[in-house]
A and B are shown apart, each in its own frame.
Chain A
Amino acid sequence: MLSAVFIYNQKGEVLISRLYRHDVKRSVADVFRVHVISSPTSVIRSPVTTLGSTSFYHIRYDNLWLCAVTKNNASAAMVFEFLYRLLGLGVSYFGRFDEESVKNNFVLIYELLDEVLDFGYPQNIEVDTLKLYVTTESVRSSARGGLQSDVVTGIPHSITMQATGTTTWRRNDIVYKKNEAFVDVIESVNLIMSAKGTVLRADVQGQIVMRSFLSGMPECKFGLNDKLVLDRDPAAGNTTVASSQMGRRQGGMSGMGDGESVEIADCQFHQCVRLGRFDTDRTISFIPPDGEFELMRYRTTENVNLPFKVLPVVREMGKTRIEYEVLIKSNFSAKLSATNMVVTIPTPPNATKCRIKVTGSGAGKAKYNPEENAIVWRISRFQGLQELALTAVVDLTPMTKPVAWSRPPIALDFQVLMFTASGLLVRFLKVFEKSNYQSVKWVRYMTKAGSYEIRI
């Protein structure tokens, strides 16, 4: 288990140092700085560094290094998960987690570290619960009143019940006037396409993020057009009340009909979801945390609708010139459009001058960016079933020592609203609560580029 946690700034200065066990001294912080942060080899060869019997695990975020130290054969996955969580905790407490916010919140971070790890064992890292008793300046006054004066009324007890109970992620005294739940289906399309245009790998990493503003302890049930469920119960396809409401929204969304189902290769759930039930009948049932949380992650590999096709032609004309022709076609309904599209077309490091031309309506702007060694083509709005093209001629300076150009892939970044590359749809979200209130549910779909690479 963890022996210490350190937070460094970019230069390797220790911002936070918390030791949990007596088997390490604070000086190990220097060991990590010397061997990893200021190591002369700039590329990190491993996220885990073991020196002697001391192992350092690090992740980087913004201008910080988060580093955990163990002296035993710890579960490395758990340590990294903890660091990710710690990061999330920082972000959610301070808005952003960087050197400045760490410096401004010393005390709070130490308090948190004391709470989330006991003797190096991760305990409760749920933001909601922690915020009850480890508080920021703004809410402290009221909370402290509670802690100090209401001992008799049992509020601390409810905190401890909360922190150790079966639903550590939710308080039971939440009340909203209007009960609402928002579901965002966010899909990242990953693509690796060879220079010849064959798809080497295409998959979709989906994320279902929910924002729940529901009173009491609501019991939710959630349904997708999961092939396994639909196959098992064909009648379930379009009968549920909730689904009809949502179905209407979906109707206008894309060309996909209700009857189609999606084969989910694998999924992972937030800890509030009852895994046992999912395992037996693939029902997703849970008591949601309050506010925003990631309900599930899923992965599909079959029948991915690639939103864009890219046809690049890159010709090296001798040693002084490269010609590019890049054609991009959108492959979704004409009613929809992609926004914030950025196409990065790499150029050799010795490029000097670029003559770029883009064709097509609303084709945006393309510029050569020498720092990135790339032509960056920005398209603010890309309609469905549209075609845009870019041609460029790049001059190269002759080099004394010819270095082969590694031809990095063309990368795309974009967002398409109301489109899912996997074809996944939310069929229903039902909310049951003792008080039997009415709740309003909203669903939104978005597909964005994960790592969308086209080799040239």
Chain B
Amino acid sequence: MTMGNDMSPLFQEVIACMGIPDLEVKKMVYLFLINYARARAEIANLAVNGFEDDVNDPNPLVRAMAIRTMGYIYVERVIESLIDPLRHCLRDRDPYVRKTAAMAVLKLSMFDRSLVEEERFLDMLKDLLADGNPSVVANAVAALTEISERSPHIKLKLNMKIANKLITALNECNEWGQIYILESLMYVVPQDSSDAETIMERIMPRLQHGNSGVVLVAIKVIAYMMNYVSQVDTLEPILRKLSPPLVTLLASGPEVQYITLRNIQLLLQRWPTILQNQLRAFFCKYDDPIYVKLAKLEVILSLTTEENARVVLTELAEYATEIDVDFVRKAVRSIGRIAIKIELAADRCVRALLDLIQTKVNYVVQEAIVVIRDIFRKYPNRYESIIGTLCENLDSLDEPEARAAMIWIIGQYADRIDNSDVVLGTFLESFLDDTAEVQLALLTAIVKLFIMRPTAGQDLVPKVLKWATEDVDSPDIRDRGFIYWRLLSTDPEMARTVVLSDKPEITAEGERLDMPLLEELLLQVGTLSSIYRKPPSTFIPFAKKRFLGMSPALTRLTIAAPPVSRLPRTISSAMSQPAAKPATPQAPDMPPALATPRSSNTQLTSSALDISSGAVGGMSNPYINDYTPGPMAGNDAVLIDLMSMEDDEDAVDGGGAAINSGGMVGFNANFGMSGMNLASMDPSSIAGAASQSSMPSSQQVLNSAFDAAGLDALSNMPTSASSLNRPSSNRSPMPDLMRQFTSSFDLSGASSGVLSGGSQTANGSSQLDPFQQQQTAFQQRQLQSAAFSLSAPATSVSGGHLGPSAFPAALSPTSTFFGANSASPFNNPAPFSPLAQSHNSNLTPNSAPPAIRNTESSSTLTATSHTTSKPDNSAALSREVDELAAKMYNTGMLNSFSNNGGYTANASATVPYVPSQKVLLDAAQTQGLEILGTFARRNGSIQMEMSFVNKSGMSIGDFAIQFNKNTYGITPSGSLNAGTVMPMSSVEVGLPLVTGGPTMEMQPLTNIQIAVKCTAGIFYFQTQYSLHILLEESGQSDQGMFLRMWKDMPENMQSSHTAQNLRFASMEDMRNKLNMNSVFTVAQRSFGNATHFYTSSKLCDGSMFYSEIKVANNFQAAIIVTKSINTRLIPLYQKAIEDICTAF
């Protein structure tokens, strides 16, 4: 059997042995059954009789063994016959049988979850928590924990009373039981600081346990509880007590050492003060396994301070002479990190590195050069004297990273190294054989050389540019080559400013995990997840996400705050856009910064989380900050209701030893919950609207669905925010777009026009520095991805619909890059609408020909670009600029359309909100056909309202329309009756729509792709609808439901949004208007100067949105806090509310 031979033919004979009254034989028969019963279900049924005898055997060992074995056999018949005996065994007088039965319930639930619930085994398990025998309690706890971990709709919640009982049992359990019980304490959410302190105090002795599993799980619980402590003073002694056990664990087996070290790293990031003065405990022994050594090195690095830097460096230098290549490299790299982290130690580090270079050991030298590059970046003009030494080793460099680093150094100091041109020339010889990394570095270095010493570089530059643009396949290199080429040929001065600009500071902070990720990992101390530093959901399919339970006591105190430099980054990402972080721009002149996000995916996830949990946390949970004074209106007793619910619970708990009362171990079996947990299992739902991973695929799908060229560019729209965050090497979808960009400038032209125009208007200055204009155009080429992502929304979504999320997201990197020169005129998040409005007054639809340049800004733009362009490129450039101007005008015109020609929503609350029509298809792209449109919901049915405008000389007819698959399966339910549109006239059409068609997830979710066929051709476009059209009229929820859902949904399913300048006459008006658009008011409360609405909505797919809308009485602003299991839709939902509230 062990050897893998199939013994199942002996089944019959083996079963016959079941009756032999010998324990040993029985055990073997059972083992046989476990192994083969699944394969031979029909024979397994024969064993049932034997089992039935055994479960009634007077010997408890036999009873237990029978129950245990039956649980392993996942055969219907066996499981059926298990149920009754199991019920008895759970109440058996023998604890050994009870503890085995508890496990059997878990086995059963893995076989059939519903069975366990139907047969009320869960309640019986809960009863076992009060069992007198500690082993039984431990197994029951373990079973409950795993059942809740795996079940989508069962959530384990323990209150303090249960927790205290469990902790009492802890003292009597064996070591494994202690682990299970401690683990279950992670399901306690302390309601005040003293609860957390009590638990910590009571489990503190476990840190002395000999089993490292117990110690680590105890540390996990303590690390979790520390988030709920209100006083820093109480934390310090606790942290002091954590250090010794951690060091002691380093004396265990190497495997446990490794786990401990990985966890120490996590703990150190959150609580930097632990393990102070323990540095030496982490010095590597010669015969430590390599994984322990590498992990120790990381800890040493985090523990290095100014005081001990000297000792650490000596130690690292020692490691750098060892045998294992990885270890040596990491040691060398660590020396560089210390130089960057601790300025005072930099001198010493550089000296140590130089010593290492003298060893001439190939990989040591290469590694040292890589870190020295970073040191040069960090401390310019300090260590350049060592360049000579570095250059001695040019020949030995064969690794790309080292070559690139050396090239960077030479390029950066091209003017100080006499023969820099010769050296770079040598490197250039093998240019085409090098990797992209080296090619990029070489390209930049040679351009630098040319700028600094034009005579020295003049031979090399044309060569490298030619190769880069013609012979290299990598789009990154090609793009950069083009950029340099154009830059150098148009304006060398400009090129100097750009190429030799100051580089952003680098820090050693790249090592750190993001706070939200760190917080999640700290809830996983000791587990696999903590070793891999990944949330469990990334490698375990069913894993539930853990988060800090919301409670008034949640404080997240820190003793030594993480360095300030991190702070603004987190905040700005939280403020400006939900899904994207302003990542370090991959500007051409930057070596891969240390701070480059390790994985943009996790960053996205975490930043999205940040919003829901961290930055706005205070505001988002109405029960934390809410002030209660003042009388409350009778029907609005939201708070009171909640209180009484909690009181009830307590009362039940208070009823003595009633563990089974359900209030203590709260199993919530409602369906809303199940949906919620499913959602939280899906990592992409947390990542928010801009899901990275879906980008390439959606692009592909689009391409295949509509293979029109114009759409390629449009399809890039959903990538807006996320594409910026991607490391340059991943920009694979871009080359096509780039080509398109250079050949026909329309899309990007539009956006840059809009941008520059917008910025000018916003700044109120019509005379712009010509350089700045030039730069704007240039910068778009440089960060073409940015330009592209901007372009799409700009053309397809007009004016007010450029959501705040898309705009600043795309802009922030550009402004970082150009920070010094252009003073970030783009940072104004709303440059667009003023521009649009200013055009409105000037233009009337249809009448203004596209050629007219009616604003000063646009003509300035054209003029300057003409003057600054050099002959060779001026044609292209001027064409571009012309296009810019034309597009800018166009955009203006579009807006005038949308506001004047579209349906005007009435301020009166009797009419549902319909967004104004926007241009879907632009006459310039087609043969004179312009389509404007919007989506509306009237009387429960969805409609698309369109205007077809014919600007061509011929009549257009035979219209047909088709929708591509979209997120909610919106599809036309009737045909398009547009008839024939005569030249220079227009037709308004309503197209009835239904949901329920074929679905495909779009980015953003409300995106919809449409194809229109007519006599003028087939046109493709995409647009987004306002989410309110999908809200059902049946979305009214009662107060009880609202309360329960609001309370049950954790904070990561919540987010908040601020809307400004509401257009309402009264609260009544607002309430009606919202109700009219299926945002139903559940309750309403007024305070002195504000009113709070509690609303519910139901989406067509059944998901509910619960919101709290706090409105100032002057309607200046409203804070919308929304909870929904459908977290990805919350921003869109809130946007819809905002639009409803701000529409005329």
A residues contacting B by CB (< 8 A) are: 1, 14-17, 19-22, 26, 43-48, 50, 52-53, 55, 57, 59, 70-84, 106-107, 110-111, 114, 118-119, 121-126, 133, 140, 144, 147-148, 151-152, 156-157, 159-161, 163-166, 168, 190, 192, 194, 200-201, 203, 205, 265-271, 274-276, 278-279, 294, 296-297, 299, 301, 404, 406-409, 411, 451, 453, 455
Contacts and interface: CB of A to CB of B under 8 A. Distances in A.
Contact of B291 (A19, A44, A152): A44
B1021 interface: no
B210 A270 contact: yes
Interface in B120-175: 133-136, 139, 142, 146, 149, 171-172, 174-175
A200 B315 contact: yes
A126 B176 CA distance: 11
A83 B259 CA distance: 14
A15 B291 contact: no
B174 A126 contact: yes
A265 B30 CA distance: 49
Identify the interface centre among B35, B183, B245, B259: most chain A CB within 10 Å of its CB.
B259
B210 A271 contact: yes
A77 B24 contact: no
A111 B758 CA distance: 78
Contacts of B60: 156-157, 160
Interface stretch (B100-108, B713-721, B1119-1127): B100-108
Given A76-B531, A77-B259, 19 more contacts: A1-B146, A14-B3, A77-B212, A77-B216, A78-B211, A80-B256, A111-B27, A118-B68, A119-B71, A119-B72, A119-B106, A124-B174, A156-B59, A161-B96, A200-B280, A275-B206, A278-B208, A296-B210, A407-B321
Nearest to B182: A75
B285 interface: yes
Contacts of B2: 14-17, 106
Interface stretch (B520-528, B583-591, B796-804, B1012-1020): B520-528
Contacts of B34: 19
Chain B interface extent, by class: 35 or more
Given A45-B291, A275-B171, A265 B244 contact: yes
B31 interface: yes
Contacts of B217: 75, 77-78
B564 interface: no
B205 A279 contact: yes
B278 to A, nearest CB: 9
A84 B133 CA distance: 26
Nearest to A55: B528
A75 B183 contact: yes
B255 to A, nearest CB: 4
B38 interface: yes
A72 B540 contact: yes
Nearest to B134: A166
Nearest to B131: A164
Contacts of B529: 73
B958 to A, nearest CB: 54
Given A121-B176, A160-B95, A404-B359, A80 B255 contact: yes
Contacts of B245: 266, 268
Contact of B95 (A71, A76, A161, A411): A161
Given A1-B146, A81-B213, A110 B31 contact: yes
Contacts of B289: 44, 47
B283 interface: yes
A14 B3 CA distance: 7
A407 B320 CA distance: 12
B872 interface: no
B383 interface: no
Nearest to B96: A160
B463 interface: no
A269 B103 contact: no
B253 interface: yes
Contacts of A52: 539
B110 A404 contact: no
6 contacts: A22-B38, A78-B217, A125-B176, A266-B208, A268-B248, A299-B248
Sorted nearest first, the 6 A-B pairs with minimum C-beta distance are A160-B96, A78-B213, A266-B244, A275-B205, A164-B135, A73-B536
A53 B541 contact: yes
B318 interface: yes
A192 B287 CA distance: 12
Nearest to A301: B281
Nearest to A196: B314
Nearest to B1: A17
Interface string B251-286: 101111011100000000000000000001101011
A121 B216 contact: no
B235 interface: no
A140 B526 CA distance: 40
Contacts of B287: 451
Contacts of A151: 58-59
A133 B59 CA distance: 12
B441 to A, nearest CB: 29
B28 interface: yes
Interface in B70-89: 71-72, 74
B290 interface: yes
B595 interface: no
A101 to B, nearest CB: 15
A47 B528 CA distance: 11
B511 interface: no
Contacts of A47: 254-255, 258, 289, 291
Interface string B584-611: 0000000000000000000000000000
Contacts of B286: 408-409, 411, 451, 453
Given A59-B253, A73-B536, A166-B172, A276 B179 contact: no
A160 B58 CA distance: 13
A82 B216 CA distance: 14
Given A81-B213, A275-B171, A278-B205, A160 B4 contact: no
Identify the interface centre among A72, A74, A190: most chain B CB within 10 Å of its CB.
A72
B285 A192 contact: yes
Contact of A203 (B260, B281, B536): B281
B1090 interface: no
Interface string B490-533: 00000000000000000000000000000000001011111110
B909 interface: no
A391 to B, nearest CB: 24
Contacts of A50: 528, 532, 539
Contacts of B23: 133, 144, 147-148
Given A73-B524, A268-B209, A404-B359, A123 B176 contact: yes
Given A26-B4, A406-B322, A107 B24 contact: yes
Nearest to A266: B244
Contacts of B281: 201, 203, 301
Contacts of B251: 205, 297, 299
A116 B169 CA distance: 21
A186 to B, nearest CB: 13
B61 interface: yes
Contacts of A163: 96, 135
Contacts of A17: 2
Contacts of B136: 164
B171 A276 contact: yes
B22 interface: yes
Interface string B57-69: 0111100110010
A147 B179 contact: no
A80 B259 contact: yes
Interface in B273-329: 280-281, 283, 285-287, 289-291, 311, 314-315, 318, 321-324
Contacts of A159: 61, 96
A114 B27 contact: yes
A275 B206 CA distance: 7
A298 B280 CA distance: 18
Given A14-B3, A77-B259, A148-B23, A160 B61 contact: yes
